[in-house]
Structure 1
């Protein structure tokens, strides 16, 4: 069984991530800053100290990274790398703000 870390999960579970993770092959480990959404781990993208080094096969982060300050992005990505197994991978989705600005301007 493989494990993916659902970073900034909010109230969503693996069936609301991608079809690839929504299988019996994947266990979901939910991480969020908000205790009220009942994550497995309370933490942030920039401090995942409760997650062991090289302990997850994948990371899923949807519409979270754009909420970081620019100087926090490298810290979050370093945390992602730290907790991933050597052959792991990351799925990050975020809005394309430049395209939106072109439409509004």
Structure 2
């Protein structure tokens, strides 16, 4: 069935998660909790070339109805925002969630990267990705080869520790916020927060 906002609200037997900043369709990028048959992915991306279900900007998701989704999944989007834009995006995540729904957010862990920088390891690779070796400088400011090719969407404009990510979610009314630091070799944070079940 083609995607429509009506299909989200009427098919109650299926849980819907909004995959924001999804990039090209890739089932390997979906976290295991959303891979069951009870979950259905709706992809939102600012780039129409990746053929999302919804073309939109996470800072102002005009095409997405309020209280329509059971979950919002955001993987490595927030670091591409300027600091003053982060609350706008998180407030949009909150707005589109059903009462009791949750957001799952992952982004780089700047605290662990800062330790590498403090030790003088700014340019040495800390892990290998499908796009090649990744250094602390890439994690701080964006993947340099992508930026060199003109993909300025890959630039990073802000960063988070576990504490600041938790606070950012709490500041836009998420409750039961939990943040996990995964450390090496992942260098990332995973945060979950819920929309209040009665609001």
TM-score when scaled to structure 1? 0.95
1:98 CA drift (Å): 2.3
1:95 aligns with 2:97: no
Matches of 1:16 and 1:52, distance apart in 2: 24
1:2-81 aligned within 5 A? 2-81=15-94
Matches of 2:89 and 2:27, distance apart in 1: 21
Matches of 1:64 and 1:93, distance apart in 2: 8
**Superposed structure 1 runs of 4+ greater than 3 Å apart:** 12-15
Does 40-49 or 14-23 show the bigger shift? 14-23
Matches of 2:38 and 2:28, distance apart in 1: 13
SS at match of 2:88: helix
1:15 CA drift (Å): 4.0
Matches of 1:101 and 1:59, distance apart in 2: 29
SS at match of 1:20: helix
